[in-house]
């Protein structure tokens, strides 16, 4: 290899290592778990998966939580467990976040129960057409289902915007924080999940713009965009098993407990983007590469 190329490669590698080190240092050492005690938190999508685990971890830290999902029986169980784990308060709203009135009811209930809001954690994911894990793995071209697509965007993109808009007055009063569950698929594009990619890129776009608007108007509400890789929840596991080479991918899945903790810590330290597991930061960087190299890597290395 040419000496100048080695020099450039070394410098780039060094800069990336230093940036990663700084990020890890900031993320780990600036988190004071006591800062979450007594904090008021709304978390969506808590009947299962990462949302359920976040509810338990906020509870252990002594937060006051209000959780949502459609399945009321599951929410009752999660609330009971959260109380036993130490939540100062635990409430639920059973509702469909695809419906404007249920989003309104959620934020109104938070106002009535807590009188203030410190964290809005937007996490739910789903469709009115049944579990996403049951959807056949097909390219968009094989499955041009506009009804599914519009419903998916309503639940997974528009409702996030709606909930954040409804909560903003409360968040402004308490210098609060919004945590948005994005995806690695909201940073780079994978095949088979164009509907998910649209929602997650849209969330990054909307909340990125909102973040700078809040800064421009000097309002103390901050926003974290979470970039999860493959996290071992029941739904994600079912979906991945259907992909070519899916069984192998399962070995790389990150545990839900660590993921939930990383997100709560990142939210409390007001981290702009939360990469979990941290390899998602490295993979997201391929957007900086020339298009032909991005395409090559996505088609031959990162996609199923
Ligand atoms: N797991 C992963 O590998 C992974 C990777 C990247 C990003 N993420 C993101 O991380 C978040 C959590 O993922 P997860 O795997 O924990 O999801 P999950 O296990 O499928 O849980 C989704 C939650 O959303 C709720 N939900 C679905 N549709 C809803 C609706 N219309 N209204 C209200 N609640 C609804 C579900 O409850 P009900 O059915 O009871 O309503 C459930 O509690 C999602 O935003 C997902 O996109 C996950």
Domains of the chain by residue range: 34-302
Sequence-ordered list of residues with C-beta below 8 angstroms from that of 44, at least 6 positions apart, any chain:
51, 67, 68, 69, 97, 106, 121, 122, 123, 124, 163
**Strand, coil or helix: 38:** coil
1.10.1040.10, 3.40.50.300, 3.40.50.720, 2.60.120.1440: which CATH number matches 34-302? 3.40.50.720
Residue whose CA lies nearest to ligand 1 atom number 42: 45
Token pair listed for 259: 């993921």
Mean pLDDT of 97-120: 98
Ligand 1 binding pocket mutation candidate from 42, 44, 49 (most atoms within 8 A of CB): 49
The answer, yes or no, to whether any atom of ligand 1 lies below 6 A from the CB of 223, is no
pLDDT digits (tens, 9 = 90+) for 237-247: 988 888 878 88
Give residue-wise pLDDT tens across range 151-199: 999 999 999 999 999 999 999 999 999 999 999 999 999 899 999 999 9
Residue 261 near ligand 1, beta carbon < 6 Å: no
User: Which of 45, 193, 241 for a ligand 1 pocket mutation test, highest count of atoms within 8 Å of Cβ?
Assistant: 45
Q: Higher-confidence residue: 24 or 270? A: 270
Between CA 68 and CA 140, with CA 226 as vertex, the angle to 5 degrees is 85
CA pseudo-torsion sign 239, 241, 246, 248: positive
Tell me the sheet residues that pair with 254: 231
Closest CA to 39 of 152, 168, 174, 151: 174
Asked if 31 contacts 265 with a C-beta cutoff of 8 angstroms, the reply is: yes
Q: What is the DSSP secondary structure assignment for residue 254, as one 8-state letter? A: B
Could you tell me which of 156, 144, 167 has the C-alpha nearest to residue 200?
A: 156
C-beta 259 within 6 A of ligand 1: no
User: Whose alpha carbon is nearest atom 31 of ligand 1?
Assistant: 96
User: Is this prediction's pTM over 0.85?
Assistant: yes
């Amino acid at each position: 290899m040419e000496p100048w190329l080695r020099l450039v490669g070394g410098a780039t590698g060094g800069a990336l290592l230093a940036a990663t080190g700084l990020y890890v240092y900031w993320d780990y050492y600036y988190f004071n778990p006591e800062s979450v005690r007594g904090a008021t938190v709304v978390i969506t999508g808590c009947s299962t998966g990462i949302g359920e685990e976040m509810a338990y971890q906020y509870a252990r830290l002594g937060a006051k939580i209000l959780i949502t999902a459609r399945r009321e029986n599951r929410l009752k169980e999660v609330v009971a467990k959260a109380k036993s784990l130490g939540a100062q308060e635990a409430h639920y709203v059973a509702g469909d976040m695809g419906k404007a009135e249920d989003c309104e009811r959620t934020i109104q209930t938070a106002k009535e129960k807590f009188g203030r809001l410190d964290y809005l954690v937007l996490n739910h994911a789903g469709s009115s057409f049944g579990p996403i894990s049951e959807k056949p793995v097909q390219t968009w071209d094989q499955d041009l289902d506009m009804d599914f697509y519009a419903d998916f965007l309503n639940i997974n993109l528009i409702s996030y915007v709606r909930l954040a808009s409804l909560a903003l007055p409360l968040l402004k009063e308490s210098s609060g924080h919004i945590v948005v569950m994005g995806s690695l698929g909201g940073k780079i594009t994978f095949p088979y999940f164009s509907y998910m990619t649209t929602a997650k890129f849209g969330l990054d776009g909307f909340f990125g713009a909102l973040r700078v608007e809040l800064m421009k108007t000097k309002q103390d509400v901050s926003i974290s965009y979470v970039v999860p890789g493959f996290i071992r929840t029941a739904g994600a596991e079912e979906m991945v098993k259907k992909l070519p080479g899916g069984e192998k991918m399962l070995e790389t899945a990150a545990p839900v407990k660590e993921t939930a903790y990383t997100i709560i810590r990142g939210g409390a330290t007001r981290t702009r983007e939360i990469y979990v597991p941290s390899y998602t930061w490295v993979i997201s960087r391929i957007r900086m590469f020339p298009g032909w190299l991005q395409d090559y890597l996505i088609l031959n290395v990162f996609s199923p």
